[in-house]
Chains A and B, each alone.
Chain A
Amino acid sequence: MIDLLTPQGAFSRCFSVWLRNAKVWSKLAGSSLLGSFAEPLFYLFALGYGLGQFIGSVEGMSYIVFLASGILSTSTMNTATFEGLYLAYTRMEVQRTWDGMLSTPLGVTDIVRGEVLWMGTKSVISALAILLVTTLSGFVESTTALWVLPIAFLTGCCFGSIALTVTALSRSYDFFMYYLSLVVTPMVLLSGVFFPLTSLPEVVRDGVSALPLFHIVEMVRPLMTGGFPDNLLIHIAVPVIYCLSFLSIAILLLKKRLLK
């Protein structure tokens, strides 16, 4: 038996939450994988070939290659967001899984950390699937693309933490539409997923540099096209700061909600 009360126990406690989610996922992996990778690939091929015909090359590469890194970044974000909103809310309010966990030595902090680690993991799985298909299709330039996987983990943890914060404030599933429509969608459109930011006014570009997804795309794109990201530290630091801040906020809000 692992002594859960020691500091090493803290990791074991998070891990038992992670393990529970991983086991559920492995049972339903078919439909889950379909959602996290079939849909983005439809977008990639439809837009990449369809629009690509008119666009030609962007930043010195074919549009579909440009788009592939954007789609991979968005999709890793979406995977964690969906998990942190709908699935986490279901575990909290419908299945009462967290209530069950709270009757064991696990605390809210352990649950939130375990959930976020799982969201990071799920984003890696999603990135891996897309990377595989894009590589087989010849849109990936070099093995540096494998560095996308740890970035996907960071993406998952970052957007998972934000999503859990939204979930902590939600009274029903309907509330998620505000976050998705007013935050996620504009961020996707402005973060250089579909088109380079050079086409935007400077004011907007300055604002965009505060968004975590922008920094993810700035790292993923060069890595998938044989280059190396400029200003790597900044691009890592911004999502890390978002992740840690929202992780703390989510823990605080969920303590308030679950331990009233």
Chain B
Amino acid sequence: MSPSVIVNATHLAKSYNGKMVVKDINLSIKKGECCGILGPNGAGKTTTMRMLVGHTKADKGMLEVLGFSIPDRAREMRSKVGVVPQIDNLDPDFSVSENLYSYGRYFGYSRKVLEPRIQKLLDFASLQDKADSRIQSLSGGMKRRLTLARSLINEPDLLILDEPTTGLDPQARQLIWQQLRQLQKEGLTIIISTHYMEEAERLCDRIIVMDKGDILADNRPESLIDEQIEPHVLEVHGEGVHEWHSTLKLEAGIRYEQVGETRFYYGLELKELIETLDGWGGLRYLYRPANLEDVFLKLTGRDLRDD
């Protein structure tokens, strides 16, 4: 086992009922990385995450997590991994600290080992005052923090989070991010699936974009923006946007797209384009550097995914 490689997957593939949901992907994640897996619904993110924890057996390929061959040695691997599921599965019949305790028991820890850890985790999750509260009395953000704390009960070498902040308000999300950054600083390897670009951009030092079972891009967020998309974006919307657009003579090197009532222009230099906006009082516009969302939409398309 090479301890510096946390995940090593080669030619992983999985199909359900003849439909390939993960197509021959290769993936290597090193110790200390915080890796975001992005993709629209149906991209194969969830299946990939399930394969990583040994819940889904790949049809083809080789997978090692923490040096253990998966799924054969998934039990040993899971004893060193923390998982934050997409859907909360805290025990509603237990209090906050009882949840941590009974989860710790599943790893075989005794009360003596667990008690100091539970105290530490309650501090980490800012839930000291809630130790004896029932789960139903917690807010959505508190439940998520508890789920995150619970995933650390075994002091894992790898943390896997499936859409950890979906459905949270902005304040609660900030607090989770802060906690994840702290863990990252302590050197924990983190894999996080999300469809919030902001989340990926802020937390991850590596982004994997998936769609239709394939890995479309895999790089640092800033490199991804550099390599995949023009540096500047002009967004224009409002009354008369289509008339304004029809008067334009776009230079070569400027790419544009229309999404609903908004038009997007991408290019190295858009100043001349902005000048043409003078006199069009009904238009609203935003001139900004390109971000991960632009990359994501370029790679995966702008069509709505309902499946």
Contact = CB atoms under 8 A, between A and B. Distances in A.
Contacts of A24: 91, 93-94
Contacts of A234: none
B94 A5 contact: no
A95 interface: yes
B45 interface: no
A105 B106 contact: yes
Interface stretch (B108-116, B201-209, B275-283): B108-116
Contacts of B151: 103
A100 to B, nearest CB: 4
B108 A103 contact: no
A259 B56 contact: yes
Given A24-B94, A104-B78, A96 B108 contact: no
Interface centre among B81, B94, B105, B113 (most CB of A within 10 A): B105
Interface stretch (B82-90, B169-177, B224-232, B298-306): B82-90
A17 B107 CA distance: 11
B24 interface: no
B53 interface: yes
B200 to A, nearest CB: 22
Contacts, number: 83
A260 interface: yes
A12 interface: yes
Contacts of B16: 260
B79 A23 contact: no
A187 interface: no
Interface residues of A, number: 31
B91 A20 contact: yes
A95 B92 CA distance: 8
Nearest to B113: A1
A97 B78 contact: no
Contacts of B89: 95-97, 99-100
A101 interface: yes
B98 A103 contact: no
B91 A95 contact: yes
Given A5-B76, A23-B98, A105 B91 contact: no
B41 interface: no
A257 B89 CA distance: 18
B23 interface: no
A27 interface: yes
Given A5-B79, A107-B75, A16 B106 contact: yes
A100 B113 contact: no
Contacts of B90: 100
A107 B74 CA distance: 9
Nearest to B106: A104
B92 A96 contact: no
Given A20-B91, A104-B154, A105-B75, 13 more contacts: A1-B110, A4-B108, A20-B102, A23-B98, A24-B91, A24-B93, A95-B91, A100-B90, A101-B106, A104-B79, A105-B106, A107-B75, A260-B56
8 contacts: A17-B106, A27-B93, A99-B87, A100-B85, A105-B75, A106-B106, A259-B55, A259-B56
Interface of B: 16, 53, 55-57, 75-76, 78-79, 81, 83, 85, 87-94, 98, 102-103, 105-110, 113, 151, 154
